[in-house]
Structure 1
Amino acid sequence: MSRRPNTSRRFAENASLPFMGALHPKSRPSPLLSIGLVVMGALLIVGYLYRGSGGRSGDIAALNRLDGGVSCALELQRLVPILKKAYGDSTRKVLHVGPETCSVVSQLLKEEDTEAWGIEPYELDDVDGNCRSLVRKGLVRVADIKFPLPYRPKSFSLVIVSDALDYLSPKYLNKTLPELARVSSDGLVILSGYPGHQRAKVAELSKFGRPAKFRSSTWWIRFFIQTSLEENETAVKKFEQAAAKKSYKPNCQVFHLKSLH
């Protein structure tokens, strides 16, 4: 996961209005023009609402719907109430690591008795005012997670990672996973895509430089064992109970690991 140069996603907006003759006062309004204007208006409203959610999650969400992809950062926002039930007091100080961390941190900060920080593994481009504020306050920072994290051991009660690890090779995972477990005191939660799923291709190529590699749960478990990371069985049971009460069906794989002590 090398640091990529500032490359913002630009969406062409060169569309011209069709059927300009229909705007002439002596012309009858075209049904196609009316429909087109309604659709354009709806898209602009939806885009505005998503853009205000923090970071660039609105762009990612729209691309996910268009390309049939899955963003585990968006999935995590559905999971926050369940994680609060499963981890209880361990959600007092949370570090989120991964793309779209401004959106995740913003949501976590709205939770009662929760402090939150975030690490964005890639350069932040075209962010909104909320994200700039989080960066200015030091709550969100950009850092290459292939290198040691700039935190002391057990700096956070819980560390949550979404999307970021799917772009790392095993060579870098060997270094990054123990680092993530090192800075947590009560556990590490990993969200990873299911094999066979895809993410928004346009977003991947512009931001990550390459597509994600989705591994099976068997692959991940074997890798956890190789890196001496243990499953947090207590957290797994509580998470499953809380998820069942919410009738939650995951779109991403969720792993619960113990911290390194």
Structure 2
Amino acid sequence: MSRRAVGSTRRNGSFPFSGAFNSKSKSSPLLPIGLVVVGAILLIGYVYKGSGVLGGAKVVSRVDGDFSCTLEVQRAIPFLKKAYSGSMHRVLHIGPDTCSVVSALLKDEEIEAWGVEPYEIEDADRTCRSLVRKGIVRVADIKFHLPYKAKSFSLVIVSDALDYLSPKYLNRTLPELARVSSDGLVIFSGFPGQQKAKVSELSKFGRPAKMRSSSWWIRYFVQTSLEENEAANKKFEQATSKESYQPSCQVFHLNSYH
């Protein structure tokens, strides 16, 4: 977030009543010190507010320079529940660190959740290992056929996965996501300019993330015969506006194939 430069607009001799203050400086030595202290307090308060510590500013989750839309999915769950209401009973999440999203969804007793991790899980915690052992989370290459029957899930949510696919593989993956969903598909994608993976992690993802604009995605959806879910999009926007929540990722609501 851009911050206004806080600087002094009063220089020595430029203030019209500087002479009056100078004449009393010996009798009131604490006045300049007090002004400096007050100014410092105001400056610190402004900086903290701009960074989101005091609220009112959007806090962007970053780890070592990486940007995560998977964290954004967890923040958006309450708004997705309002947008999809009855369609949140069987949910599939696809993306790196899907265990965290599935765990968050399963806290709601009315939601059944599953996950697909597109890459090998390294250093998985006990909870994630348990989800994999139970078959709730699978490790699968999403560039190919997904191991689910058509319309197995009411809602499919994907994050931090499509940004790493070339159009060649998107042509396979997007129709598959729509195939296994019955009521809708939600895509969380990074904005152009956001960083997703460091060079050291390219061996895992295969290629650097490609941050595409919303206009690119919209054209691509049209080409693949995927239509916007206008009703869900409207409800989602209404729910987020009431809470002054601004997603840090692009969020696309699409209809499933009929």
Which structure exhibits the higher relative contact order, with contacts defined as CA atoms closer than 8 Å and separated by 6 or more residues? 1
Change in 2 beyond 3 A, CA 1:240/1:219: same
Question: Are the aligned partners of 1:205 and 1:211 in contact in 2 as well (CA < 8 Å)?
Answer: yes
Tell me if 1:207 matches 2:208: no
Structure 2 counterpart of 1:224, from 221, 225, 230: 221
Structure 1 residue 209 displacement after superposition: 3.4
- In structure 1, the residue matched to 2:64 is 66
- TM-score, normalisation: structure 1: 0.73
Structure 2: gaps (5+ residues): 1-60
Structure 1 counterpart of 2:155, from 145, 155, 158: 158
Q: Could you tell me which amino acid in structure 2 is paired with residue 190 of structure 1?
A: I
- In structure 2, the residue matched to 1:134 is 131
Q: Helix, strand or coil for the counterpart of 1:187?
A: strand
Q: Distance in 1 between matches of 2:155 and 2:184?
A: 5
Question: Are the aligned partners of 2:197 and 2:208 in contact in 1 as well (CA < 8 Å)?
Answer: no
Structure 1 residue 66 displacement after superposition: 3.0
Structure 1: gaps (5+ residues): 1-60
Q: Distance in 1 between matches of 2:201 and 2:75?
A: 22
Q: Could you tell me which amino acid in structure 1 is paired with residue 122 of structure 2?
A: D
Q: Helix, strand or coil for the counterpart of 2:181?
A: coil
Aligned ranges 1:115-130 → 2 under 5 Å: 115-130=112-127
- In structure 2, the residue matched to 1:37 is none
Question: Are the aligned partners of 1:70 and 1:251 in contact in 2 as well (CA < 8 Å)?
Answer: no
Structure 1 counterpart of 2:247, from 245, 250, 257: 250
Larger radius of gyration: 2
Q: Distance in 2 between matches of 1:223 and 1:106?
A: 31
Q: Distance in 2 between matches of 1:131 and 1:65?
A: 20
Structure 2 counterpart of 1:197, from 194, 198, 211: 194
Tell me if 1:174 matches 2:179: no
- Worse-superposed segment, 216-225 or 204-213: 204-213
Structure 1 residue 164 displacement after superposition: 0.3
Q: Distance in 2 between matches of 1:203 and 1:250?
A: 28
Q: Helix, strand or coil for the counterpart of 1:157?
A: strand
Change in 2 beyond 3 A, CA 1:102/1:202: farther
Fraction of identical pairs, as percent:
74
